Homo-oligomer: A and B are copies of this chain.
Amino acid sequence: MKRVLIKDIASKAGVVPSTVSLVLNGKAKEMRISDSIAEKIRAVAEAEGYMPNGIAVSLRTGKSRILGLIVEDISNVFFASLAKIIEEEANLLGYKVLYCSTENDAQKGVELIKMLSQTQVDGYIITPSPGMESNLKQLVIHKKPLVLMDRYCPGLDIAHVLVNNTKGICLGMQYLYEKGYDKIAFVTIDLEQIQMQERLNGYLNFLKDNKIAVHNEWIYKLSYHYEREKAVEELADFISGHQFKAIFFATNYLGTIGLESIKKLKLKIPRDLAVICFDDNDLFRLYDPGITIVKQPVINIAKTAVGLLMDQINGRKMDSSYSQTMIEPSLIQRESA
């Protein structure tokens, strides 16, 4: 059984291939092709199960209808959720998505951009790693549609969609503060990612704005490559060594480590210690009542990124206010059982 081609349809319908192409691409009216012929062509195409060869279409039109998505790690729930929604949105618009993971390695990221550009993707959605700046600039120079997601490159004028980290921290701090907590520790990771910096700043600013004294020893920066067991111990020491009554964990992963430490110390949440955490997924909602989470709105991030990319692909005009989109997180709390 051979693949059916446009010329097969043409000969069966008694016309020439170009007519078939015109009709199937909805240009029958425009080209004033008679309804009866158009109808016949459509019927034959349907009957034969004709599907255009996407590769040939791409070569001819210069559009592949494939989007390139480069995330840090597709096996991470946050990125996997983003990827899924991006894929769905893209499919809705007739686009496919080619994914890949940088492992936060700029070198690998650069390879991936090369690979995708070889495939002639129509646009890129990327969570940039530090070190990829010059290659991103290349894409911009070549006028490739490009949207950064979850992170951005300060100084480069590239459209990006971010979670409003400052706002998220603020929401959480406000919540604790209103509950009567003013002794709040902050646990983060010693990574230079811009969003981690923003979260720490959010914490510091909240304290300052509310005239609460900053205890530098209540800020704990976990090393990125710590072994988990060791991290749990160190965090337990941190918790038992100070007088704060609440902890804000800057990420999901830190939160899970923190919970182990807290369990180990046999502290009760929230009786002995209130816990709040920036959360990429529903981990805490599922397992641990009593923990307040700042939820990252994955769906909005993904849909917005696709929207911005499509605007570029379709050449819609963008003013400069357009280049940064902030997505607002929300607060979810669940009282302890």
Q: Which A residues contact B (CB, under 8 angstroms)?
A: 1, 51-56, 58-59, 64, 66, 73-77, 80-81, 83-84, 87, 91, 96-101, 114-115, 117-120, 141-142, 228, 256, 259-260, 264, 286-287, 337
B115→A101 contact, CB < 8 A: no
Residues of B within 8 A of A101 (CB): 84, 87
Cβ contact of A115, chosen from B64, B84, B91, B264, cutoff 8 A? B91
B55 touches A64 (CB 8 A): yes
State the Cβ distance, A326 to closest chain B Cβ, in Å.
24
CA distance A223 to B119 in the complex (A): 44
Sample of 20 further A-B pairs with CB below 8 A, known A66-B98, A80-B80, A264-B337: A51-B114, A54-B118, A54-B119, A55-B120, A59-B59, A73-B84, A74-B80, A74-B83, A75-B77, A75-B80, A75-B81, A75-B83, A75-B84, A98-B98, A99-B99, A228-B286, A256-B286, A260-B286, A260-B287, A287-B287
- Pick the 4 closest A-B CB pairs, nearest first: A80-B80, A75-B84, A54-B118, A75-B81
Given A115-B91, A118-B54, A228-B286, A97 and B99 touching (CB < 8 A)? yes
User: Are A55's CB and B119's CB within 8 A?
Assistant: yes
* Chain B residues whose C-beta falls within 8 Å of the C-beta of A259 in the assembled complex: 287
Count of this chain's copies in the oligomeric assembly: 2
Q: How far is the CA of A141 from the CA of B1 in the complex (A)?
A: 8
CA distance A119 to B1 in the complex (A): 19
- Of the A-B pairs whose beta carbons lie under 8 Å apart in the complex, a sample of 21, sorted by A's number, is A53-B59, A53-B120, A54-B118, A54-B119, A55-B58, A55-B120, A66-B98, A73-B84, A75-B81, A77-B77, A77-B80, A84-B101, A91-B100, A96-B119, A97-B98, A97-B99, A99-B99, A228-B286, A256-B287, A260-B286, A287-B287
CA distance A240 to B140 in the complex (A): 63
Q: Is the CB of B256 within 8 A of A119?
A: no
Most buried by B among A55, A80, A81, A142: A55
* A142 CB contacts on chain B under 8 angstroms: 1
Tell me whether B96 and A96 are in contact (CB under 8 A): no
Given contacts A98-B98, A228-B286, contact A118 B84 (CB under 8 A): no
